[in-house]
Amino acid sequence: MTGGKDFSVAPVVLSLMASYLTATTLIGWPVEIYTRGTQLFASLVAGFVSTYVAAEVFIPIYFKINAISINKYLEERFNSKTLVVTTSALMTLSWVSCFSPALAFGVSTGVSTTNCILLTAGVVTIYTTFGGLKAVIWTDVIQLILMIIGLIAIIIKGTLDIGGVGEVLERNSLGGRIELFNFKFNPYMSNNVWTVAFGTSFVYIAAYCTDQLAVQRMCALPNMEKVRRALFYVMIGFFFIEFSVLYLGMVIFAYFYKCDPLKAGQIQRTDEIVTLYVSEIFDNTYPGLLGLFVTCIFCSSLSTLSSGLSALSVLIWEDWLKSLLPKVKPTTNVLITKFLSLLIGIIVLGAAFLAMNIGTIFEAIFILIGAPVGPLFGLFFLGVTFPNVNWKGAITGMGTGFLIAIWITVGAIFNKAPEMVLPTTTDGCNNTSLLANITHSTPFEQLKHSRISSYAPRGLNLVYHISPLFVPVVTFLTTIMVGNIVSFIFGGNEDKEVDEILLCDLVRKVRDYMKALKKNRKSKPSNCEIAKTTHL
């Protein structure tokens, strides 16, 4: 299940990077730059924060208790099977979303979404079922290499065609896309430093610290020294890939800066702009590179899906079935997890067809994984940093955070926020067939000084229109607050001392200091005792 703990650093690093470089990343993030500007570069801070927190706070604890499943930590910390089962169910919900990259693959290739889902599901389920974690990690390595080659080829070709990096920056400036230091906090907008930095950091911290996928890979390494080294390389790789994907958005805007394909009627939704761009720059001149892009998207889909199936099969075995089948042989264990991978693949396949009707790729991602991330991270954070929180507070806090997330999500679906994007122009569209399809366009000269208008909702929209990036932050804080309050009401952990191995180093040091301080106060005689002694 952990590959025998004999993996070297390199394949684990590449596998972690591949598992989070999804088709949604390759297609969706450049679109955000195109429509909202360069403020999304603030997300680069997430790579540094998430890997540091993982290396210094969470993973050392998992290593000490030899946690193959992250729920082993919850069982030891809170001593509650109910909490473990509830958390596993919530994680299962989050992995239902692992077929959303197949939806992105369909958008990028023009192949019907149904066929994409069936093809991707079949390939991934087969090699994950029969190959196990080793197959997943090594296929992740191959897929990441193909993804990086494809991404670099697109960026280099696009930059050279436009006239170099300087021209890319100039066109983005003229189009009003350059904005890096918007510090006006607004939780309803996704174009300020605070929303982007906090939102993406919370998501990636949750991914590297409390996600079965990441923990399973890092626990495949033999010691913490190699884990820290792996996370350092992951941080560097994250920065390179994230920067490249965001820069690709700038290249695409520089290419279409005077003729927006959406307003010109070339595409039906902005999700299709990356595919349109790649098909236009490669056209018939470099047909092999267009195929490389399709391979890039397909590989990112395979990587995400295989990682999800592998992680979830281990989670179900460790948390649900292992205690029911204590005398099962190791070889039988392997067969059971393989069968679970197959079964999960079939179940999630059905869920993918339900996701087809949600809307855009980002809306599907928001609906399917937005809810579990904040509460799950909040639950584990309660465990490692608040010794007085008991299982009643933990499960109530997580449940409340999850319900808040569902409330926001459902409200956002039925009461959509206004579209907050930067204007585009069609002043440079020369194709006669395109001119007939053009909708309302902003004059090019007005783009440079354009900004997204500040948005201040009223009524229930104060809840429903919170930026998708900020929802995990809200649900995390809700989980922490409710978890502490409920634990206090039920007496905390007065009847049970939490094992120090289950707490992070900083909390242990503070607790030891407070104990020593309390002990010193008790050992010192009071003023009354001193006076009595003097009198005698």
Same domain for 461 and 534, yes or no, is no
Tokens coding 529: 């005792």
Same domain for 298 and 386, yes or no, is yes
Same domain for 375 and 523, yes or no, is no
Distance CA 507, CA 19 (A): 31
Domain hosting 534: range is 505-536
Nearest to 133 by CA among 314, 321, 2: 2
Q: Could you count the other beta carbons within 10 Å of the beta carbon of residue 111?
A: 13
pLDDT for the residue 356: 55
Sign of the dihedral defined by the CA atoms of residues 319, 320, 324, 329, in that order: negative
Same domain for 413 and 515, yes or no, is no
pLDDT for the residue 437: 57
Distance CA 215, CA 2 (A): 10
Same domain for 277 and 299, yes or no, is yes
The answer to whether the CB of 277 falls within 8 A of the CB of 252 is yes
Same domain for 337 and 422, yes or no, is yes
Same domain for 371 and 517, yes or no, is no
Please report, for the domain that includes residue 257, its CATH number: 1.20.1730.10
pLDDT for the residue 364: 57
Please give, one letter per residue, the 3-state secondary structure of 453-487: CCCCCCCCHHHHCCCCCCHHHHHHHHHHHHHHHHH
Alpha helices for 96-219 (secondary structure H): 100-109, 113-162, 165-174, 193-209, 212-218
Same domain for 497 and 514, yes or no, is no
Same domain for 372 and 429, yes or no, is yes
pLDDT for the residue 1: 47
**CA 139 vs CA 135, 159, 413, 452: distances in Å:** 6, 30, 36, 42
Chain centroid, CA 494 distance in Å: 36
How many helices (H) and strands (E) the chain has is answered by 22, 0
Tokens coding 351: 């869920």
- pLDDT by residue for the chain (536 residues), tens digit each? 444 556 678 888 887 887 666 767 787 889 889 998 899 899 899 889 999 999 999 999 998 888 777 878 888 888 776 666 566 555 554 545 555 555 556 655 667 667 776 776 677 666 666 655 555 566 667 767 777 888 898 899 999 999 999 999 999 999 988 988 888 888 888 888 898 898 888 888 888 888 777 887 888 888 889 999 999 999 998 899 899 999 999 999 999 999 999 888 888 778 788 888 888 888 767 767 767 677 766 666 666 666 666 667 776 776 667 777 777 777 787 778 777 777 777 766 666 665 555 545 655 565 566 667 888 899 999 999 998 999 899 989 999 998 998 888 788 878 888 888 888 888 888 765 555 555 566 787 888 878 888 888 888 888 888 888 888 889 999 999 999 999 999 888 766 778 888 888 888 888 778 778 877 776 666 555 555 555 55
- How many domains are contained in the chain? 2
Distance CA 406, CA 484 (A): 22
Distance CA 465, CA 291 (A): 39
Dihedral, 504, 311, 238, 360 alpha carbons, nearest 10: -120
Same domain for 59 and 131, yes or no, is yes
Same domain for 456 and 515, yes or no, is no
Length of the chain: 536
Tokens coding 34: 């195109």
The answer to whether the CB of 26 falls within 8 A of the CB of 296 is yes
Same domain for 312 and 338, yes or no, is yes
pLDDT for the residue 26: 80
DSSP 257: T
pLDDT for the residue 344: 72
Tokens coding 118: 């069936």
